[in-house]
Structures are given as structure tokens and as C-alpha cells.
Structure 1
Amino acid sequence: MSTHIAIRNKILKICSPRLASGLELNLIAITLFVLPSYEAPKNIISILFLVVWLYRAYITKSIGVSSPFFWPIFFLAFILWISPLYSSEFFEVEWSSGGRWSLLALFVLAAGRLSYTSAHVNYLFSALMFGGVWAIYQSLYIMYVTGAPFPEMRSVGHVNHSSMYTLVVLAVGLGALFSRCRMLIVIGTISVAASLLFAPASKSIVGAISIALILLISVYLNFNRSNAHIKYTIFISVVAFLLIVFLAPWSVGIQDELINLIQTGDIFSGRDKIFRAALLVWGNHPLIGTGWFSFGPVTSEVAVQAELELLGEIYDPARYLHVPHGHNLFLTILIERGLFGVAILFLLLYRYLRFFVPIAKNNYDLPKLDRAVAISAVLVVVGFIVAGFGNTTMMNEHGHAGMAIVSIAGAYLDRRNSFARD
């Protein structure tokens, strides 16, 4: 009996709360700042953070506290390394790319096991917003100087993925407006403005729709609340944004894109053809998929033709579209991580919303910062879901930043009484 008690006490000690050290905190902040702009530093600093985290865990004999998000994220990464072993496309899958999402997952898991004070949260949220605003400025400046058709963040790359990153900046910026920290409110206002400025230039309809819904949900979270000035400010922002997107002269690109989709009848911009190709081949590996970055080869023209031949049907190129990823979060997960992956993803999203929504809607019993943090997290998750229907969210830089800030928010809110609030 005494042996069992000793083992239990040792486990409790290993999993006891651990406050983020100054070095860990700074490495997280630097990572959040450089993610959208600097390719090599974001990977090097992320790895360095993990090394320091392991060292601190060894020194303090504590790996921190788990969260409701830990195991879903862990298994989403774990499946990536198992799926290719059971795939006929084994030699076509880019194994090295599995490390990219694994690094993302490990960073998010490690950061989520630490505990944070309110000062820590102000610092980390500010770092993400400053980094996002700087990346947006760079992308718009480079577009203006070079005459490029779209703004693209230096490290994120493609305009659609850059647009997805601005959703994270927008979400955190909107959440910051609900805090009582003047500095955070100022930075949040700048972040919201920068994100809205990026949208018309990106010509991304998915981004525009996502921004509109994020803003509307911000209004909903504050409906009939005492802070009416914030509610009306956000409502006016929604109306102004929609007017800018659809009426302003500098939004002619997104207007033309929308008109073209309506005139051609291709309102899904080819995504229905991608969906058709994916569902045709999905049944070959239904449970755990085919691995990271396998969507392209698995749903290629050759693969679809081969599947149709087995079914005795003729390939019609007008019915299918072949792309590197599914332009849909759920479809990409279905192909690359199978039904198990989709189930785990839904579990993760459910746990996100179940944890944060009650706090975000509570305007009476909590400190303003707690609610601001929860609102930021809810809006980041809304961006994941809404934009996920038109693009592959929760991946690369926007997934790294968004999932990290949500995990940090969850860690702070879950363990906010374990340490001094500062």
C-alpha cells in the first residue's frame, strides 16, 4: 500500500502546476512575434523553447498540468506517423513534412502545460498582435513596391494562408478590446484595423466571410451587456467592413472575384470538384488516412482515373479538380488522418468551445482580462471552423499561432488561482 501511495505522490509531483520561467516566456513571445515573418527563426526558437522546457521540467521535477486539449492534439500528431505505414502511397508521402505539424503540436502541448499570470498573458498576446501587425505591414508594403497582385506574409507565403493568419490577429485583437489594460486595448485596436485593411487587398472571399462572422459573434457575446459602447463599436465595424469589401473602389479585386463566381456558376470556386475527387478515393484508407501532405498524390488525376477504372466509369476532367491540399480543413483531415482524425478534430473543437464559451459570455463574476482572454480564444476557434470550410486551417503558421494562443489562454484560465495574478 505504501508503495502505491509513493508512486501516486510522485505522479502528482510530476504533474503539479509549473509557472512559466522568464526564459520560457520570452521564447514563446519571440516565436509568436516571428511566426508570420521569419522562416528560420520561428523553427529554431520553437525547438529551443522545447529544449528549455524539457530542461526546466527536469530541474523542477514537473511537466506541468494537462488540459482538456492535450490528448486530442497529441493524437492528431501521432496519427501522422502511423497513417503512412498502412498506405499504398507510402513512398509518395513527404515524411519530413510530418515533422512540421509535430513541431507545432509539441510547441502547443508544452506551452499549454505551463501556468501563467495576468502579466504573462498581456505580454504573450501583445507579442502575437505586434508580430501580426508587422507582418501585415510588410506584406502590403511589398505588394505596393513590387506591384504584386496579392499581399503575402514573408514566412506564411500564399495569400490565402496569409489571410488565415490575419484571422488569428483579428480574433486576439477583438478580445483585447474587452480588457481593462489600456496598452492591450490600443494594440488590439491597431490589430483589428490592420486585419480589416488586409482583407480587401487579399481578394479572399473566404477571409471576408470569416471576418464578418468573427465580428458578428463578437457582438453576440456582448448582446445586452453593460458595455454597450464596445457592442456598438463592433457592430459598426461589421457594417463598415462589409461596405468596404463590397463597395469601396480599392476592393475591386474581391468584387470582381465574387461577380465572376456568380456569373460562371462556380460559387464554390472548384471546391466541390476537390470534394468529389477526395470522396472517390477516401474509401481506400478510411480509418487513419494516408499521412501528412498526402492529399495531393492520393487525389491526383492518376489516382482518380485508376479508381474510376475499377468502378467501370470514365474520367471527366470537368468534374474533378486536383490540388495539393483539400482547401477544407475537414476534408484534408479525412484524407490524411481518416475518420479517427476527423473524430479527434471534432472532439478538440468541442472541448475548445465548451471550455471558453461560458467564460466568454460571463460578464459579471470574472475579471475583465479573464473574459477578454476567453473571447480571444473563442474567436480564434470560430476562425478555424468558419474559414476551415473554405481553406485548410489549423496548419502551418496560422495553426501554430492560433492553437498556441488558445492553449495559453486555457492554461491561464484553468490555473489562474495557482499563482499570484500580478
Structure 2
Amino acid sequence: MIVATLRGSRFPIETALLAALAFFLPLLEAPKNIVWLAWVLTWLFNRVRSRDFGARWDAWDSLILLWIVSPYIAAAFAGLHANEWRGSNDVLRYGLVLWLVKRGGYGEREVKLVLSALAIAVLVGLPGAYIRLADRGWLEMHSVGQVNHTAIYLDIILGMCVAWLLAEWRSLPRWARVVGIAVIAAFGASVIASKSRAAVGVAVIMLLLLALVWRKRSWRPLAVLGFSIVISLGATWAARLGVVTKHLHNVEVGDTLAYRDKYWSTGIAAWQRFPLFGVGMENYSVVTVDMVQSWREEAGKPFNPDLYWRGSHGHSLYLNTLTERGAFGFLVLMAVLCAWLASLIRGLPRAEEADLKWVLWGGAFSAWFVTVGAGLVNTSLHHEHAILSVMLLGLWLAYRTAR
């Protein structure tokens, strides 16, 4: 399949590098970065040589360009100076993935190769994640890292695979259906094993929404997924698995938010001090409680040190963006998320439309919903799961543009 796909590809090396990026994304740090750079350079070389940079410039191109440059603009006017220029490169990295995938012109077989690489990579990475779970108590994929980030990544992959299986169910042989169900079960169980309450909750709602959308084709997914979710959650509660005991403990000690309220208070104080452009990307960790105290005293406001904690990030996509990029960066982010949602609503597939459209819509929807939902209490759209999210968005936008 891989060799045949590459032989039929317009740019086989470029396609292979994109699939390699999808594969290494959650697994290995150095290969991921090397392949990203090689893919970008190869893409540019191929487009210059062919004099074909994709479709005509559209509103999405303008928005992506603004998204990429916005953290650098914020860095130029940042209230604090430490990591803001280096931190801005994260948006450049995943912004280019979105832009180049959108304009890549990849065919159906190439798209499925990339999607397969994304799913297989997680299957390869999960054994190591479970070893870390047994050793350290947290489920973490090597290159994704921190358990909440791993849980976000798993949520998105879970939604993508469910959409893929549902879209092609009727055309799949029995063995492929069994394999698909087993893979989805493994990903779902891993979300629960991550102990991330937000990831579990977001996954449940995401799957139910996918099933509701699929009612255009069949009501069976809603019944099957609904039943599976009830059984899974019931078993998780009855067995008092980690996500349950963690929640019960936090409630018992009066810390349902797991100290997030203190991180948020610090972020809000920093944003109030630098409201337009924030403190600069990756400078959340620079904000100390002493800084907060001096800012509040300057403003004539009361200060209670017990309400603030220093953290590496804001534990919320929205607050983290507001703190680091200010109102300017926050509005740009909201524009991207709203445009993303609008593309999903306008492009909602009809029952008779191609399976590939359903697959890509489901992947882009899963990435959007997890980003927005988990982003309430975690810093989503960040590093690996940001690249994953925009890769799925880019494939969806490219499909819509081509049609």
C-alpha cells in the first residue's frame, strides 16, 4: 500500500516525509523535528519547481498568515522578556503545517496514508506509555509528554478513528471491522487510563456528537456508541479506576480544579498588567507571585499570596493565550476557532456524499471539539497535539477547496 501510494503520488518524497511526520509526531522528538524541516523544504522546492502553490489565495490563507505572525507581533510589545521569540516558533511550526497541508493538493490515497500513520504511531507509542504508567503513575507518550497533553492527543486520534470506521463500515471486510473496533477500544481505554477527567468527559461528548451527525447515514452508531459509553463509564466507576479515585480525592480535599484556580489567578493578574499583548509566549513561567504582589499593590488592589501559584503554563487554552499574547493574540485565536467551526457547519456532509468527506469532516471536528473543550481546563493547541489538530484541519480544508 505504501509503495503503491508513493509511486502514484505527484511528489512521492514529500508525501513520504509528511507521513513520516505523522508517524514520529507522538514518538520521537529529534526525528519529528528533522522530518518537519525536511518536509517544509521539500514542499517549497516542489512548488517552486512546478510553479504550483495550490488554489487561489482565500480568506483562510489570510487568517493563517495572521495567526503565524501574531505571536511575533505580541513578542515585540510583550510586557516581559525571556522566551517570547523562541516560544513564538511553536505557532510558526504548526501554522506552516496547516498552510502547506491545505495547499498540498494531496489525493485520497495520500491522505489515507497520512491518517494511517497518525493512528499507527499511537499504537506503537502506547506500550511505552503504559510502561511509564506502571513506573511513574502517569500515561505519557514519549514525544507528547505530560499526561494531560497525551490525553488530548488520544482524544483527537480516537475521534478521527471512530469517524473513519463509521464512514467506511459498509465497504470494509469483517476482519477490518474487527481490527477497527479493537483499535478504537484500545484508544478509548487509554483515555480512561490517562486519569484526565477533562479528556474523558470531552471524549464522551465528542463521540455522542459524532454519532448524532452520523444519523444521516444510520442511527446504529448512536445506539452502539451510547451503549458502549454507558458500559465503559459504569465499569470505570464500579472498579474505582484512577480517574474516579483521583476525582473523589480532589473533591474530598476541596480541590476539584487541582489548583488550576491559583494558576488562573496568576494569569489574570499578568493579563491585567499587560492587557494588549501579554507577557510573551512561554513567559507564563516567568510570572512569579512576587510580581503579582507588586502589580496589585501598584494598582491599589488587595493581595493574598494563598490565591496565586507560579506555573509553567495557564492550564487553559484561553487564559494561557490571553496571558501570553494579550487581547490581540486572543482575538486572533478566536477568529481561527470560529472560522474552523464555520467550515465544519458549512461543509457538513450529506448522507450520499463520499466516505472520504465524512472521514475528513470527522477528523477536523474531533480536533476542533477537543481543542475547544479540553482547552477550558488544559492548554490545548500546543506542540504535538497542535500539529495533529491542524494537520486534520488542513486535510479537511484542502478537500473542501478541491471540491
Q: Answer yes or no: same fold by TM over 0.5.
A: yes
**What corresponds to 2:239 in structure 1?**
248
Q: How many Å apart are 1:67 and its aligned residue?
A: 5.5
**What corresponds to 2:308 in structure 1?**
320
Q: How many Å apart are 1:361 and its aligned residue?
A: 5.0
Q: How many Å apart are 1:206 and its aligned residue?
A: 1.2
Q: Distance in 2 between matches of 1:20 and 1:326?
A: 43
**What corresponds to 2:101 in structure 1?**
111
User: Unmatched 5+ residue regions in structure 1?
Assistant: 1-18, 417-422
**What corresponds to 1:93 in structure 2?**
83
Q: Distance in 2 between matches of 1:227 and 1:60?
A: 43
1:60-112 deviation line (CA, Å, top 9, x unaligned): 1122135654333332221222222222412x225323323312221221111
| Equivalent residue for 2:152, pick from 156, 164, 169 | 164
Confirm whether residue 352 of structure 1 aligns to residue 343 of structure 2.
no
| Equivalent residue for 2:74, pick from 72, 78, 83 | 83
Q: Distance in 1 between matches of 2:399 and 2:16?
A: 16
Check whether the contact 1:356–1:375 (CA below 8 A) recurs between aligned residues.
Answer: no
Matched residues, percent identical? 24
Check whether the contact 1:67–1:410 (CA below 8 A) recurs between aligned residues.
Answer: no
Q: How many Å apart are 1:155 and its aligned residue?
A: 0.7
**What corresponds to 1:363 in structure 2?**
351
Check whether the contact 1:359–1:371 (CA below 8 A) recurs between aligned residues.
Answer: no
C-alpha spacing 1:356/1:188, structure 2 compared with 1 (3 Å): farther
Count of matched residue pairs: 390
Q: How many Å apart are 1:150 and its aligned residue?
A: 1.0
**What corresponds to 1:49 in structure 2?**
39
Confirm whether residue 210 of structure 1 aligns to residue 198 of structure 2.
no
Check whether the contact 2:43–2:100 (CA below 8 A) recurs between aligned residues.
Answer: yes
C-alpha spacing 1:114/1:52, structure 2 compared with 1 (3 Å): same
Paired residues for 1:132-143 under 5 Å: 132-143=122-133
TM-score (norm 2): 0.90
**What corresponds to 1:373 in structure 2?**
360
Check whether the contact 2:316–2:377 (CA below 8 A) recurs between aligned residues.
Answer: yes
**What corresponds to 2:3 in structure 1?**
none
Q: Which amino acid aligns with 2:160?
A: V
Q: Distance in 2 between matches of 1:244 and 1:326?
A: 33
Q: How many Å apart are 1:189 and its aligned residue?
A: 3.2
Check whether the contact 1:67–1:411 (CA below 8 A) recurs between aligned residues.
Answer: no
Check whether the contact 2:263–2:309 (CA below 8 A) recurs between aligned residues.
Answer: yes
Q: What is the aligned-residue RMSD (CA, Å)?
A: 2.1
**What corresponds to 2:165 in structure 1?**
177
C-alpha spacing 1:226/1:103, structure 2 compared with 1 (3 Å): closer
Q: Distance in 1 between matches of 2:177 and 2:369?
A: 21
1:321-354 deviation line (CA, Å, top 9, x unaligned): 2211111001111111221222121221122122
With 162-171 and 276-285 compared, the bigger mean Cα shift is at 276-285
Q: How many Å apart are 1:231 and its aligned residue?
A: 2.5
Q: Distance in 1 between matches of 2:155 and 2:61?
A: 23
Check whether the contact 2:349–2:357 (CA below 8 A) recurs between aligned residues.
Answer: no
C-alpha spacing 1:72/1:291, structure 2 compared with 1 (3 Å): farther
Paired residues for 1:247-266 under 5 Å: 247-249=238-240, 251=241, 253-266=242-255
**What corresponds to 1:382 in structure 2?**
369
SS across alignment from 1:179: helix
With 380-389 and 175-184 compared, the bigger mean Cα shift is at 175-184
Q: Distance in 2 between matches of 1:254 and 1:261?
A: 11
**What corresponds to 1:398 in structure 2?**
385
**What corresponds to 1:420 in structure 2?**
none
